[in-house]
């Protein structure tokens, strides 16, 4: 029996709240908080069992501390914006509460994300006897667990990892993003990066691409991006020689994005407009559909997984592990599309394993540092079954 505080009431926050509510034997009390309390109320109305809601500014450590002390949770699940990771971690340290998030920190003023800012908290969490778990969504999160599972059960050494994220869904809008538009566009428009032979190599944005035939979806063009799990896997998977992250985009999406870039709408620096300073990307975010609103009319599937090559008992081995998720089925269950679902379910599972003591530690950890077996087992139980295959 535990009390969970969920900070963030967007699409992912709604899924985490729904899924925690499905496990009353673990999450006996649920508090959902956001800057916009109306979003919390909307989610509360969807859930049969009682939950509490609260208003909080996640940029303000004193407000966070006051809320955490009032709620007295066993764990804080951070599904707010990545800009707010450090303030929420600071509040957890001050109040002595365990921490979990789904995406690593990035500063508002620079389109850059890396784990160093959060890894630098390791000693402080260790000294407080607290655990912080980073990136417990799908990618990062499940993909990290897929790699740890493969290394534990199927490989003596992994030489290459390709993480492949395909969304073949249709939402009916000419241009929309599946999670926070500001974060999504910043991620896609920065330079690509991959790991090879102990070095990081940089590419122009979306310059490298190839076709892959995704199970239950078919052939789709996927583009090389930089994604945060590559950084932690390079640190925690011994012997890996190359790692890449790929994501699919439709030509319609890329055309819209290219036009928006060309006219300056993806800029993150302030510009003067009629005597006011605005950030073009933040203004664009206000014009685009709210990602949590896409679910009702979303159709199609996602396929996210890992292709790994290495060796077992001296024999070369190629292995593919993936999950397929249906947008419409997710909406029927929790009023969300599959991108939110695939992120929110692992966050709930990670929180469950932490509060029940299955996953424990003192300091700051990534998912692949934990025993993958209980996590992998629960993925199927709570809506994200996975398939694995050995390839020729």
> Strand, coil or helix: what is 251?
helix
Query: pLDDT band at residue 177, thresholds of 50, 70 and 90?
Result: low
Asked if pLDDT for residue 94 goes beyond 70, the answer is yes
Mean pLDDT over 249-264 rounds to: 77
Asked if pLDDT for residue 227 goes beyond 80, the answer is yes
Can you state the percent helix, strand and coil of the chain, rounding each to 5? 40, 30, 30
Token code pair at residue 338: 């599959």
Query: pLDDT band at residue 181, thresholds of 50, 70 and 90?
Result: low
Residues 375-385 have pLDDT tens digits of 999 999 999 99
Angle between helices 142-153 and 338-355 (to 10 degrees): 60
Residues 291-311 have pLDDT tens digits of 767 767 778 999 999 999 999
pLDDT at 328 (0 to 100):
95
pLDDT at 178 (0 to 100):
61
* 134, containing H or E segment: strand 131-134
State yes or no: cis peptide before 299, omega within 30 of 0. no
pLDDT at 174 (0 to 100):
64
Mean pLDDT over 214-240 rounds to: 96
**DSSP assignment string, 275-310:** TEEE-HHHHHHHHSPPGGGSGGG-BSEEEEEEEEEE
Q: Which domains does the chain have, with CATH numbers?
A: 2-138+342-375 (3.40.50.720), 142-334+385-391 (3.30.360.10)
Lowest model confidence (mean pLDDT) among 2-11, 82-91, 264-273: 264-273
């Amino acid at each position: 029996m535990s009390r969970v505080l969920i900070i963030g009431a967007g699409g992912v926050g709604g899924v985490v709240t729904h899924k925690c509510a499905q496990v009353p034997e673990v999450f006996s009390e649920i508090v959902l908080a956001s800057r916009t309390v109306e979003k919390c109320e909307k989610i509360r109305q969807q859930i049969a069992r009682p939950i509490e809601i609260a208003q909080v500014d996640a940029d303000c450590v004193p407000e966070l501390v006051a809320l955490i002390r009032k709620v007295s949770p066993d764990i804080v699940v951070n599904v707010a914006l990545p800009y707010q990771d450090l303030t929420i971690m600071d509040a957890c340290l001050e109040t002595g509460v365990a921490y979990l998030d789904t995406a690593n920190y990035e500063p508002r003023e620079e389109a850059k994300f890396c784990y160093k800012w959060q890894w630098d908290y390791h000693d402080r969490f260790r000294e407080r006897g607290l655990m912080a778990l980073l990136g417990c969504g799908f990618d990062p999160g499940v993909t990290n667990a897929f790699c740890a599972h493969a290394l534990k059960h199927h490989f003596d050494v992994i030489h290459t990892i390709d993480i492949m994220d395909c969304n073949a869904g249709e939402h009916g809008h000419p241009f929309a993003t599946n999670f926070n538009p500001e974060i999504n566009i910043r991620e896609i428009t920065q330079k690509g990066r991959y790991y090879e032979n102990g070095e990081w190599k940089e590419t122009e944005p979306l310059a490298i691409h190839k076709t892959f035939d995704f199970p239950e979806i078919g052939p789709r063009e996927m583009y090389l991006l930089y994604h945060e799990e590559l950084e932690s896997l390079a640190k925690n998977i011994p012997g890996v020689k190359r790692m890449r992250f790929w994501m699919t985009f439709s030509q319609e999406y890329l055309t819209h994005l290219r036009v928006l870039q060309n006219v300056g709408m993806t800029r993150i620096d302030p510009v003067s407009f009629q005597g006011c300073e605005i950030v073009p990307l933040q203004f664009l975010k206000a014009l685009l559909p709210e990602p949590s609103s896409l679910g009702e009319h979303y159709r199609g599937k996602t396929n996210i997984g890992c292709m790994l090559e290495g060796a077992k008992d001296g024999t070369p081995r190629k292995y593919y592990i993936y999950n397929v998720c249906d947008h419409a089925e997710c909406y029927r269950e929790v009023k969300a599309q599959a991108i939110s679902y695939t992120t929110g379910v692992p966050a709930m599972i990670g929180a469950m394993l932490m509060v029940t003591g299955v996953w424990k530690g003192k300091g700051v950890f990534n998912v692949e540092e934990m025993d993958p077996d209980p996590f992998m087992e629960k993925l199927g139980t709570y809506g994200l079954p996975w398939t694995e295959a050995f390839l020729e």
